[in-house]
Structure 1
Amino acid sequence: MIEQVTVIIPATSANLGPGFDCLGLALALHNRVTFTTVATPGLTIEATGLDAEKVPTDETNLVFQMANCLFERFGKRPSGLHIQQENNIPVGSGLGSSSTAVLAGLLGANALLGTPLTQAELLTLATAEEGHPDNVAPALLGGLVLGVMHGDQVHIEPLPIAAQQVAIVMPDFHLLTKDARAALPEKIGRQDAIFNASRLPLLIRALETADYPTLTLAMQDKLHQPYRLPLIPGMADAFTAAAAAGASGVALSGAGPSLIAFARDDHEEIVAAVTAVFQQNGLASRSWILPIDTTGTQLH
C-alpha cells in the first residue's frame, strides 16, 4: 500500500432544471480528503472547515464506509489509518456533499490499494451508492455531465459548456433528501413528461452556447421543483427575486435547499435579492459566486 493520498472533489449542482436525476454540473468549491496509513493500529478521523461538527469521526463516517467497502472487497486494510477531511461544501446543502464523501472513500481506498479498479468501475459503485449519477458523475469528471441509467449500468456523456459563473444561495433550512423525495408524486402526466423532454435538450444547448435569454425557458421543470419549492420557506419568492435581479435561469440545486442562478453578470445583485427574500422569511443564508469546475476529482 502507498502511505498517503489526497482526494480533491468539487461541489455539484444536480437535477438542473428539467434534468431531474440525470443532469449535473461541477462547481469550483472543493472538499479535500487525505488518507494516511500510520503505524498505530486503528482508525482516526479529523474534520475541519465548514460544518466540520456535523461529520462523524468514527466508523459511521461515510468516507470511511466507502473506503472500507474496497478494503473488504480486496481483503486488504491498513492496520492504522488516519483520514483528514477539509470541508468547504456545506452538509445537506444540495451541493453534493454526500457525493464527495462517496467518491473520496472509493478513490482514496483505490489509490491506497494500488488502483485495482478503473474510473468507470468506481463510477458504477458510486452511482449504485447514490442511486443516480447526476452528482457523482460531474464530481468525478468535471463540467456538465448527463448520466443515463440502463439497468444497473450507467452511460456517462460529458457535455460542452461555456465558461461562466453561477450564483448560489443556501438558506439556513434543514431539508432531508428523503423528505424532498417523498414530496414527489408517484406518477406524472404525459404533458408534464413532454414539457421536460422538450426543455432538457434546449437547456444543454443553451449552456453550451451561453445563450442566456433561452435559459429562462430551458430551465423550466414540472417533475420535481413544483413539489419541492413549497417545502422551503420563501423559495418561490426567491426564484422571482433572482429573475428580477437579472438571473436568466433559476433552479433548485439538487433537492435543495440551495438555489442556483445563471446569469451573464449581476451575480452580486442576484445574491443580495435572494438573500433578502430568505431574510424576510426568517432564514439566514450563505452564498457563493462560483465558476464551473472543469477538472473534476484530482488525486495527489
Structure 2
Amino acid sequence: MLPVGTKVAIRVPASSANLGPGFDTLGLALGMWDDVSCEVIDSGLVIDVEGEGSGEVPLNEKHLVYRAFRAAMEANGYDVPGLHLVCHNRVPESRGLGSSAAAAVGGVALADALCDRPFDLTRMVQISSEFEGHPDNSSAAVLGGMVVSWADEPGFANTSYHAVRLDVHPDIRATALVPYSRSSTEETRAVLPATVPHRDAVFNVSRASMMMLAMTKRPDLLFDASEDRLHQQQRAAALPVTTRWIRCLRDRGLAAMVSGAGPTVLCLHTGDFPQDLQSDAEDDGLRVLHLDICEGVQRVY
C-alpha cells in the first residue's frame, strides 16, 4: 500500500489517427496537452476535472483516467487507500484528437509514476490500447512523433498491441481545424462497409506506405500520400463540414484529411498555413490550431 501524501503529475499530448490511408494504424502526437495529477489520500476517491469535459464526464470509478490507473496499479502489484485525481483537460472531447486515448495513457502513466517506476512504454501501449480497442491514438500519445501500430489479432479480446515510432521530417507542420460539433467514434465506424474492393485495398496499402516515406523523408509526397479510399468518403455524409473543408484545402494543394473519426480536419504542410484559409475557417465557426508534432507522455514531478 502506497503511503498517504504521495503525489505525482504527468502530461499527455493530443493525437491524430489514420493520417488519411493508415486506418487504425498510423498516428501522430500533437502538442496540445492534458495535465493529470494525483495524491494518495486516507480513503475514497475524489476527482476534479477542469477544462474540456468538465461537468460532463463521470466523477467516480467510471472515469477513464481512473479506470486505466486501476488497471496499471494492479499490473504493478500496488494499491492505494484512497486517491485524489485532478485533470486539467485541453484536448477537445469527441473531436478526433485522441481525448480518450490521452485519458487512458494518463491513467497508466500516473500509476507508473506513483509507484516510482520508469515508464514501461511497451506495457503502456498495451494497457491504453485495450481501452481504445486499437492502438493508433494511444501509441502516439505514449511514444510521440509518428507511430506505426498494429494488433496481433485485431478485433479480438486479449490481443497484443504494438507500436514503433518514426521521427517526422522537421519541415512538416500540422494544423487542425476543429468544429464545435462532436462526433462519435462508434457512429462513424458503423457507416463503414464490412468489405472493400480489392483495388481500394491495394490503393490504401500504397498510400499508407507512401505516407511513411512522406512523413519522414519526402514531404513533397504528402498530398498524394494522404489520399484514402477506405473510410473518409464513406463517412462524408455524417461529417458535412469536415468533408467540405477537406475538399477546400485539397483544392489548394494541401494534404488535408479527417483526424481520427472526426470531425476535426488535419492538414499536414510545409511552410505557413494560408492566412485567407484560416480567416475563412474561423468565419465558418472552426477553431484553427497550429500544433507542434511533439514527444509522448511526460512526468512533471
Alpha-carbon shift at residue 110 of structure 1 (Å) = 2.5
Q: 8 Å contact 2:113–2:119 — kept in the other structure?
A: no
Q: 8 Å contact 2:66–2:107 — kept in the other structure?
A: yes
TM-score, normalised to structure 2, is: 0.90
- Give secondary structure in 2 for the equivalent of 1:172: coil
Structural mapping, 1:167-178, within 5 Å: 167-178=175-186
Question: 2: distance between equivalents of 1:148 and 1:72?
Answer: 25
Alpha-carbon shift at residue 188 of structure 1 (Å) = 0.7
Question: 1: distance between equivalents of 2:52 and 2:228?
Answer: 31
Question: 1: distance between equivalents of 2:31 and 2:160?
Answer: 28
Structural mapping, 1:161-240, within 5 Å: 161-163=168-170, 164-212=172-220, 214-240=221-247
Residue by residue over 1:247-297, the C-alpha shift from the partner in whole angstroms, topping out at 9 and shown as x without a partner, is 520110011010001222342433333444xx3xxxx3222111100x211
Q: 2:8 aligns with which of 5, 12, 25?
A: 5
- Give secondary structure in 1 for the equivalent of 2:235: helix
Q: 1:158 aligns with which of 152, 158, 165?
A: 165
Residue by residue over 1:168-209, the C-alpha shift from the partner in whole angstroms, topping out at 9 and shown as x without a partner, is 011122211100110100001100001101111111111113
The farther-off stretch of 234-243 and 141-150 is 234-243
- Give secondary structure in 2 for the equivalent of 1:103: helix
Structural mapping, 1:66-145, within 5 Å: 66-73=68-75, 76-115=78-117, 118-145=120-147
Counterpart of 1:222 in structure 2: which amino acid?
R
Report the counterpart of residue 17 of structure 1 in structure 2.
Answer: 20
Do the aligned partners of residues 247 and 288 (structure 1) sit closer, same or farther apart at CA in structure 2, a change above 3 Å counting? farther
Q: 8 Å contact 2:9–2:36 — kept in the other structure?
A: yes
Question: 2: distance between equivalents of 1:72 and 1:187?
Answer: 39
Do the aligned partners of residues 196 and 33 (structure 1) sit closer, same or farther apart at CA in structure 2, a change above 3 Å counting? same
- Give secondary structure in 1 for the equivalent of 2:247: helix
Q: 1:241 aligns with which of 241, 248, 272?
A: 248
Do the aligned partners of residues 72 and 203 (structure 1) sit closer, same or farther apart at CA in structure 2, a change above 3 Å counting? closer
- Give secondary structure in 2 for the equivalent of 1:220: coil
Alpha-carbon shift at residue 129 of structure 1 (Å) = 1.8
The alignment-based identity, stated in percent, is 31
Which blocks of at least 5 consecutive residues in structure 1 are unaligned?
A: none
Alpha-carbon shift at residue 74 of structure 1 (Å) = 5.5
Alpha-carbon shift at residue 85 of structure 1 (Å) = 0.3
Q: 8 Å contact 1:103–1:126 — kept in the other structure?
A: yes
Report the counterpart of residue 267 of structure 2 in structure 1.
Answer: 261
**RMSD of aligned residue pairs (Cα, Å):** 1.9
Report the counterpart of residue 272 of structure 1 in structure 2.
Answer: 279
Question: 2: distance between equivalents of 1:241 and 1:69?
Answer: 44
Q: 2:35 aligns with which of 32, 36, 39?
A: 32
Alpha-carbon shift at residue 72 of structure 1 (Å) = 4.3
Residue by residue over 1:37-67, the C-alpha shift from the partner in whole angstroms, topping out at 9 and shown as x without a partner, is 123x211111112342323222221111111
Do the aligned partners of residues 236 and 47 (structure 1) sit closer, same or farther apart at CA in structure 2, a change above 3 Å counting? same
Question: 2: distance between equivalents of 1:37 and 1:210?
Answer: 48
Do the aligned partners of residues 149 and 56 (structure 1) sit closer, same or farther apart at CA in structure 2, a change above 3 Å counting? same
Question: 1: distance between equivalents of 2:88 and 2:181?
Answer: 23
Residue by residue over 1:66-114, the C-alpha shift from the partner in whole angstroms, topping out at 9 and shown as x without a partner, is 1122344556432221111011111111000000110111121222234
Counterpart of 2:173 in structure 1: which amino acid?
Q
Residue by residue over 1:207-259, the C-alpha shift from the partner in whole angstroms, topping out at 9 and shown as x without a partner, is 113523x2221100011101112201232221122234x45201100110100
Do the aligned partners of residues 201 and 116 (structure 1) sit closer, same or farther apart at CA in structure 2, a change above 3 Å counting? closer
Structural mapping, 1:271-290, within 5 Å: 271-276=278-283, 279=284, 284-290=285-291
Counterpart of 1:102 in structure 2: which amino acid?
A
- Give secondary structure in 2 for the equivalent of 1:47: strand
- Give secondary structure in 1 for the equivalent of 2:92: coil
Report the counterpart of residue 52 of structure 1 in structure 2.
Answer: 54
Counterpart of 2:99 in structure 1: which amino acid?
S
